[in-house]
Structure 1
Amino acid sequence: MGKLFLGSDKSGFELKEAIKAYLIENKYDFDDIGTLDVENAYPYYEVAEKGAKALQRGEYERGILICGTGMGMSIVSNKHEGVHGAACESVFAAEKCRAINDANVLCMGGWLIGPVMGVAMTDTFLNTEFTQNLEDWRAANLRRFKVAVLEIEKKSFNK
């Protein structure tokens, strides 16, 4: 696993801190891109843009973004070519966003997800690879679909 980024706004701060403790304990290589304290919180769109641009530059392999619902972080991160943010609310969704969609940013909601669930989702997201544990026929289809989706993305961003 390559280097990660972890970021939140004020609404995601508590969950971010729980995930940060898990990442430290498990010796992941990561940067906390903010919010660093709730008194000086960054808006969700600034944190998401910062992480997405760094991912585009190749500074990180994956990222985790947390706001109130996870949706704002997902929307902003997906405005950047090559960044695929998935708003997830379960371990199952965190697994499938990697195995099926090869998402590179896990977006979660601090209002929706408690620390234990958030850590479990993070662990699953970080330890699942594209097409992992899928039937051969499904994995083959998903590899073809990924190429098609990347073509759609390329056309969208390079008008």
Structure 2
Amino acid sequence: MSKVTEVVAELVSPIVTAAGLELVDVEYVKEGREWFLRVYIDKDAGVDIEECGLVSEKLSEKLDELDPIPHNYFLEVSSPGAERPLKKEKDFQKSIGKNVLLKTYEAIDGEKSFEGTLIEFRNEIVKIEIKIKTRKKILEIPYDKVASARLAVTF
């Protein structure tokens, strides 16, 4: 279904940019019997419901016009939330110093899931400081080994 997400990203990007917002992600997923098209938008100060409504309305018009999805679906436009996904290099750069959760495609030091402080992202290497019992360790993870990454909320 990546073709749908690519088409929607192309349609929504100018709408989001014109509104002074950032396109974080587009998902197209089936949950139970229903299909959901989810568009995540953001800006430095966070997005409000009016901005989500504006993007939803304009995107809905474009989708109705071009009809790229052959069946019924629910369109949701929202903030990525506190556990924002890190997809692009700039997402990693903006998140340096923050707590993140990374999952890798293959085990590194016997693990595939790491939570810690994002120290650096440079030359396609993600540096994360993790805590192992009472000591800290810095891991260098090649970006192409990262399956998913997101901000991690800690309490």
Tell me the TM-score normalized by structure 1.
Answer: 0.23
- Higher relative contact order by CA 8 Å / sep ≥ 6: 1 or 2? 1
More helix, by proportion: 1
Indicate the structure (1 or 2) with the bigger Cα radius of gyration: 2
More strand, by proportion: 2
